Amino acid sequence: MGYPMAGHLKNAGFDVCVYNRTTSKAEQWQQQYSGNVAATPAQAALNADIVIMCVGNDNDVRSVVYGEAGVLATVAPGAVLIDHTTASAELARELAAACAKIGVQFFDAPVSGGQLGAQNGQLTIMMGGAEDAMVIVEPVLKCYARSMRLLGAHGAGQLAKMVNQICIAGVVQGLAEGLHFAQKAGLDAKAVLDVISKGAAQSWQMENRGYTMVDGQFDFGFAVDWMRKDLGITLDEARKNGAQLPLTALVDQFYAEVQALGANRQDTSSLIRRLK
Report the number of distinct structural domains present in the chain.
2
Maximum alpha-carbon separation in the chain: 64
Count other Cβ atoms within 10 Å, centred on residue 45. 26
Q: List, by residue number, the catalytic residues.
A: 161
Contact 179, 214 (CB under 8 A): yes
Considering the domain architecture, whether residues 23 and 143 belong to the same structural domain is answered as yes
- φ, ψ of residue 147 in degrees (nearest 5): -155, 140
Count other Cβ atoms within 10 Å, centred on residue 238. 16
Give dist(CA 225, CA 255) in Å, integer: 9
Pick from 94, 124, 153: which residue ends a domain? 153
Position 37 scores a pLDDT of: 97
Contact 271, 258 (CB under 8 A): yes
Considering the domain architecture, whether residues 119 and 186 belong to the same structural domain is answered as no
Considering the domain architecture, whether residues 169 and 266 belong to the same structural domain is answered as yes
* CATH classification at residue 116: 3.40.50.720
Position 18 scores a pLDDT of: 98
Q: What is the pLDDT along the chain (276 residues), one digit of tens a residue?
A: 999 999 999 999 999 999 999 999 999 999 999 999 999 999 999 999 999 999 999 999 999 999 999 999 999 999 999 999 999 999 999 999 999 999 999 999 999 998 889 999 999 999 999 999 999 999 999 999 999 999 999 999 999 999 999 999 999 999 999 999 999 999 999 999 999 999 999 999 999 999 999 999 999 989 999 999 999 999 999 999 999 999 999 999 999 999 999 999 999 999 999 998
Pick from 123, 153, 183: which residue ends a domain? 153
The three-state secondary structure class of 218 is: coil
Contact 34, 41 (CB under 8 A): no
Please say whether the dihedral angle defined by the alpha carbons of residues 214, 220, 222 and 228, taken in this order, is positive or negative: positive
Give dist(CA 251, CA 245) in Å, integer: 10
Considering the domain architecture, whether residues 42 and 103 belong to the same structural domain is answered as yes
Residue numbers of the domain that contains 180 = 159-275
Position 221 scores a pLDDT of: 86
Task: List, edge to edge, every strand of the sheet that includes 145-150.
Answer: 111-112, 123-127, 145-150
Considering the domain architecture, whether residues 171 and 94 belong to the same structural domain is answered as no
DSSP 21: S
Give dist(CA 163, CA 218) in Å, integer: 24
* CATH classification at residue 206: 1.10.1040.10
> How does 52-79 read in b/e, with b if 16+ C-beta sit within 10 Å?
bbbbebbeebbbbbeeeebbbbbbeeeb
Considering the domain architecture, whether residues 136 and 192 belong to the same structural domain is answered as no
Give dist(CA 215, CA 190) in Å, integer: 9
Position 102 scores a pLDDT of: 98
- φ, ψ of residue 124 in degrees (nearest 5): -110, 130
